[in-house]
Homo-oligomer: A and B are copies of this chain.
Amino acid sequence: MEKQDRYQRGWEKLKEVDGEGGKRVIESLQDIAPDFARYLIEFPFGDIYSRPGLDLKPREIAAVAALTALGNAAPQLKVHIHGALNVGCTRQEVVEIIMQMAIYAGFPAALNALFAAKEIFKERDESGKS
Q: Which residues of A contact B (CB under 8 A)?
A: 1-3, 25, 28-29, 31-33, 35-36, 39-40, 43-44, 47-49, 51, 53-54, 58-59, 61-73, 75-76, 92-93, 95-112, 114-115, 117-118, 121
Contacts of A68 in B (CB 8 A): 66
A53 touches B96 (CB 8 A): yes
Q: Copy number in this complex?
A: 6
Contacts of A70 in B (CB 8 A): 69-72, 104-106, 108
Name A's interface SS: helix
A-B contact pairs, 20 of them (CB 8 A): A3-B3, A29-B111, A35-B99, A36-B95, A39-B43, A43-B43, A43-B103, A44-B103, A53-B96, A54-B93, A66-B66, A67-B69, A67-B108, A69-B70, A70-B71, A70-B104, A72-B72, A75-B108, A102-B106, A103-B106
